[in-house]
């Protein structure tokens, strides 16, 4: 009883916590450092500071931009938050161009980085919740929209990574966050689902309690992963179980050979799909080569569309 | 007279026909099967069910998403149509993951597929008309906007195919629906033009009569193509005639050699355009290789911009 | 005094000058000719007139489309300006398909081209100003938004060039206007900054005076560059000075080797960033090859996101 009262106090305290400026700041620092550690990012920062700045802004405000686009709200809106942009720009400048690289060197120290990453995770809760409530105000009873917007707001930087990379002149079509979800994207999706369920009262929990639980979970988890250096998701087992039960109705090879025997209304596809079918699109080179072969018969397949 | 009366009855009956649920369903089934027959799609369905689901939704609701973006309406709106998304998701699941691949095997049988494709074509009329009227309500007297939106709504899945493929980790920049129109895209464009003309009363026809004529035309045509397995467009001759009269003012080679002789204000371009000019962009590899050579002189050409 | 009075008169006259139809026309002609001089554009005009037309429209109205998207206004809106689209389409047709290539041959003559380009530059002032005022009406006190929209409106064609090229089946991810700004993009950015400062009264100048100064500057500059055939930007020296003072805090190599010594929370990245770090993304092939190597460890780096 007393313990619960204490937790209730704590959750209320957390819910009233202001993200600005410290947590926002931590978010900017960690995001810009993540960009800097992308292959080739340092070269871009020399070749074109503007492209580098724009990339950094996409890392810092990607979620707001993406959810804005999805709700048909101006994607430039984040730029109108002058203070935020100014802070992020200062961080960007210090991380990339600080004399003797002092700032990055310090922030990259394990203990400091641990704290910053923890604080960044806290902002995630606020972003996801913000997205869900924003969607709820527009689409009262659509769970899917709430989840989508909450997810976009919380993991935007990752979801638009293909286009963020394009700004830096890098193009990796063979992979994206939907094909190969990274840990933060997964955890954000989970959060979006939980908060959407809470918002629609399917989840019998009070908002500030859920915020406390979710925040503690992601912070602890993040710290664990950083300390152990392991990239194993906490629910890998659940995932694989789900996967095995739901998505392994029949082996792809059975299906492929099946394709060959099946009657088909559009000639050409059969041969093609059995050929290309065996190249996993995740191994980009392969698929992009096949793409060229397949380009003319994509006409055939599209005829069905 | 009597025949006309009967046709009028029929057209009224068709105009009042409800697409939901049967025709919608057929549209989802045919669309998801088209996706499944794309090279590499089956692998994606194993590697990442989420990416596969998202691709399927783009196949089923691509038109609504595209026309939404073009009219600055929320692209997530289709997600708020819970019933539709639920139906499409069930279809997606059954087509890709049904035990023993039963559903796909059945639906792929020639006769059933013929019926389903016919029903899908019927939905096209409704989509195109919906797009045209929606545009008409926003841009009263702009024929072009009506055509564009009607086209996007009816053939969205095809028009955004480059980005739909990107979701699956496939990237074929060397081809798109504008460079090489597939049959459904052409027929939809034609429909959009007709309905836009009808909407603006340039076409002296009643809406329900046009709906009947257009629907019969596309259904019959589709069935013919599926039965004969021919991919020849019904108005290939008209197209080539139009093309010869309008777009062959001078041979491209004359033009290219001409370029060399022409005075030019920006140095460098001349050499380049005569070199690269001879690579058809439709042969992707070629152009993408050239792209690298051309990158620095694109500066020059862009200086004119 | 008298001279100033005259200048004042002149500036008022300029400010009241109507862009339609002559200057608009010149803008369309120069833009479509710029497209035609892009490598491979002539081939596209033969393979698919529609794709060519769409590309031309993006060259002519790219700014309006881009700023529309950024402000969540319908990107199809430019199509509703029937007169403009009609004019641009006529120009497009004459430049690409005129018998004996007469129109292009004439317009490409140095003197005529000089005049047309000069007139096109004049329209730039109006576009930038239009964008800035439009943004000002939506985001009262946000300088950044005004600059962004003014820039987008004035240099849209260049900023969306990657996607305009995609329409023609060309894809050059390794370069874009942010990575390697062309002269018109730079001059437009400068103009956007000036007009935004004037709009917010940080710049003690009257609007019509600024319009006169900016217009004269860009026209004179453009003519100089076309006559001398030099592509050297007028403020190259300023740029390099700024660059040296602001963005050379430490040499990239120091940073790269530094990366190796630094403690790191995510294993794997270190090796990678030191490897890939040394490939400039501007040399596309290189980075796109690296992209494949880096794809799996991008997971690690993204974990930080």
Check whether B233 has a pLDDT greater than 90.
no
Check whether C145 has a pLDDT greater than 70.
yes
Q: What is the pLDDT of residue B79?
A: 93
In degrees and rounded to multiples of 5, residue C278 shows phi and psi of -90, 5
Residue C33: closest C-alpha in chain B: B304
Identify whether C250 is part of a domain.
no
Among B104, B166, B229, select the one facing A265 at the smallest CB separation: B229
Q: What is the pLDDT of residue B93?
A: 96
- Mean pLDDT, chain C, integer: 83
Note the pTM of the prediction, 2 decimals. 0.83
- Can you tell me the distance from the alpha carbon of B96 to that of B116, in angstroms, rounded to the nearest whole number? 18
Query: Which chain B residues are closer than 8 Å to C73 by Cβ?
Result: 72
Residues C231, B299: C-beta atoms closer than 8 Å: yes
- Can you tell me the distance from the alpha carbon of B245 to that of C206, in angstroms, rounded to the nearest whole number? 53
Torsion of CA A8, A9, A12, A18, to 10 degrees: -140
Check whether A281 has a pLDDT greater than 80.
no
Q: What is the DSSP string of B30-50?
A: HHHHHHHTSTTHHHHHHH-HH
Name residues whose C-beta falls within 8 Å of residue A99's C-beta, 6 or more positions apart in sequence. C249, C250
Identify whether A65 is part of a domain.
yes
Residues C304, A161: C-beta atoms closer than 8 Å: no
Q: Tell which wins on pLDDT, B239 or C290.
A: B239
For residues A287-300, give the mean pLDDT: 36
- Can you tell me the distance from the alpha carbon of B67 to that of B155, in angstroms, rounded to the nearest whole number? 10
Residue C75: closest CA among C84, C62, C89, C93: C62
Q: What is the pLDDT of residue A250?
A: 53
Check whether C230 has a pLDDT greater than 50.
yes
Residues C275, A38: C-beta atoms closer than 8 Å: no
* Contact with chain A for residue B170, Cβ under 8 A: yes
* Contact with chain B for residue C291, Cβ under 8 A: no
For residues B163-189, give the mean pLDDT: 94
Check whether A265 has a pLDDT greater than 60.
no
Q: What is the pLDDT of residue A1?
A: 57
Q: What is the pLDDT of residue C202?
A: 94
Interface list for C 222-281 with B (CB within 8 A): 225-226, 229, 231
Query: Which chain A residues are closer than 8 Å to B157 by Cβ?
Result: 305
Highest mean pLDDT: which range of A262-266, B1-5, C4-8, C67-71: C67-71
For residues C295-304, give the mean pLDDT: 36
For residues C19-26, give the mean pLDDT: 94
Name residues whose C-beta falls within 8 Å of residue B216's C-beta, 6 or more positions apart in sequence. none
For residues A196-202, give the mean pLDDT: 95
How many other C-beta atoms can be found within 10 angstroms of the C-beta atom of residue C202?
Answer: 9
- Can you tell me the distance from the alpha carbon of A230 to that of C165, in angstroms, rounded to the nearest whole number? 42
Check whether B251 has a pLDDT greater than 80.
no
For residues A77-83, give the mean pLDDT: 93
- Can you tell me the distance from the alpha carbon of A264 to that of C214, in angstroms, rounded to the nearest whole number? 64
For residues A35-48, give the mean pLDDT: 94
Query: Which chain B residues are closer than 8 Å to A160 by Cβ?
Result: none
Check whether A259 has a pLDDT greater than 60.
no
Q: Tell which wins on pLDDT, A236 or C198.
A: C198
Measure in Å the smallest separation between the Cα of A101 and chain C Cα atoms: 7
Measure in Å the smallest separation between the Cα of A154 and chain B Cα atoms: 16
Q: What is the pLDDT of residue A275?
A: 37
Identify whether C223 is part of a domain.
yes
Torsion of CA B77, B82, B83, B87, to 10 degrees: 90
Q: What is the pLDDT of residue B249?
A: 61
Q: How many domains does one find in chain C?
A: 1
Check whether C293 has a pLDDT greater than 90.
no
Identify whether C212 is part of a domain.
yes
For residues B53-77, give the mean pLDDT: 96
Check whether C103 has a pLDDT greater than 60.
yes
Query: Which chain A residues are closer than 8 Å to C304 by Cβ?
Result: 30, 33-34, 37, 117
For the ranges B221-225, C164-168, C242-246, which has the lowest average pLDDT?
C242-246
Identify whether C34 is part of a domain.
yes
In degrees and rounded to multiples of 5, residue B252 shows phi and psi of -55, -30
Residues C176, A183: C-beta atoms closer than 8 Å: no
Identify whether C5 is part of a domain.
no
Q: What is the pLDDT of residue A304?
A: 35
Cis peptide before B21 (omega within 30 of 0): yes
Q: What is the pLDDT of residue C219?
A: 96
Q: Where are the alpha helices (DSSP H) in A160-251?
A: 161-167, 183-199, 207-228, 236-246
Identify whether C141 is part of a domain.
yes
- Mean pLDDT, chain B, integer: 83
* The token pair that represents B77 in the structure block: 């709106």
Measure in Å the smallest separation between the Cα of B30 and chain A Cα atoms: 7
Contact B139, C78 (CB under 8 A): no
Q: What is the pLDDT of residue A296?
A: 34
Residues B262, C108: C-beta atoms closer than 8 Å: yes
Domain that holds residue B165: 17-229
Q: What is the pLDDT of residue A3?
A: 85
Residue B304: closest CA among C149, C105, C185: C185
Check whether B263 has a pLDDT greater than 60.
no
For the ranges A65-69, A105-109, A234-238, C166-170, which has the lowest average pLDDT?
A234-238
Identify whether A250 is part of a domain.
no
Contact A217, A194 (CB under 8 A): no
Q: Tell which wins on pLDDT, B1 or C138.
A: C138
For residues C64-76, give the mean pLDDT: 95
Residues B168, A281: C-beta atoms closer than 8 Å: yes
Q: What is the pLDDT of residue C165?
A: 95
Residue C1: pLDDT band with limits 50, 70, 90: low
Check whether C137 has a pLDDT greater than 80.
yes
Name residues whose C-beta falls within 8 Å of residue C21's C-beta, 6 or more positions apart in sequence. C87
Q: What is the pLDDT of residue A257?
A: 41
Among A161, A182, A229, select the one facing C265 at the smallest CB separation: A229
Express each pLDDT in B279-302 by its tens digit: 334 333 333 333 333 333 333 333
For residues B226-235, give the mean pLDDT: 83
Residues B79, A277: C-beta atoms closer than 8 Å: no
For the ranges A36-50, A207-221, A248-262, C138-152, which has the lowest average pLDDT?
A248-262
Distance of CA B94 to CAs A258, A265, B44, B123, C135, Å? 16, 20, 16, 22, 49
- Mean pLDDT, chain A, integer: 83
Q: What is the pLDDT of residue C249?
A: 61
For residues B255-278, give the mean pLDDT: 39
* Contact with chain A for residue B101, Cβ under 8 A: yes
Express each pLDDT in C119-128 by its tens digit: 999 999 999 9
């Amino acid at each position: 009883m007393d313990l619960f009262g204490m937790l209730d106090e704590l959750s209320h305290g957390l819910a009233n916590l202001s993200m600005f400026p410290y947590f926002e700041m931590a978010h900017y620092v960690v995001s810009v450092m993540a960009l800097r550690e992308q292959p080739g990012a340092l070269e871009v920062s020399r070749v074109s500071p503007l492209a580098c700045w724009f990339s950094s802004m996409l890392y810092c405000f990607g979620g707001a931009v993406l959810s804005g686009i999805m709700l048909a709200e101006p994607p430039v809106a984040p730029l109108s938050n002058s203070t935020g942009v100014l802070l992020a720009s200062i961080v960007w400048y210090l991380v990339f161009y600080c004399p003797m690289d002092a700032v990055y060197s310090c922030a990259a120290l394990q203990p400091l980085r641990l704290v910053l990453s923890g604080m960044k995770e806290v902002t995630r809760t606020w972003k996801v919740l913000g997205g869900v409530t924003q969607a709820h105000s527009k689409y009262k009873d659509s769970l899917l929209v709430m989840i989508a917007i909450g997810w976009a707001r919380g993991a935007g930087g990752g979801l638009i990574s293909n286009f963020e990379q394009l700004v830096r002149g890098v193009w990796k079509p063979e992979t994206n966050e939907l094909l190969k979800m990274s840990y933060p994207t997964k955890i954000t999706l989970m959060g979006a689902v939980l908060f959407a369920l809470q918002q629609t009262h399917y989840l019998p929990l009070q908002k500030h309690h859920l915020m406390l639980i979710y925040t503690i979970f992601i912070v602890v988890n993040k710290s664990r992963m950083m300390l152990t250096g392991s990239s194993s998701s906490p629910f890998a087992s659940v995932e694989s179980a789900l996967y095995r039960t739901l998505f392994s109705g029949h082996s792809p090879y059975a299906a492929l050979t099946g394709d060959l025997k099946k009657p088909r209304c559009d000639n050409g596809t059969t041969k093609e799909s059995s050929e290309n079918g065996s190249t996993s699109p995740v191994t980009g080179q392969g698929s992009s080569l096949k793409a060229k072969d397949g380009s003319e018969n994509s006409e055939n397949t599209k005829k069905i569309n």
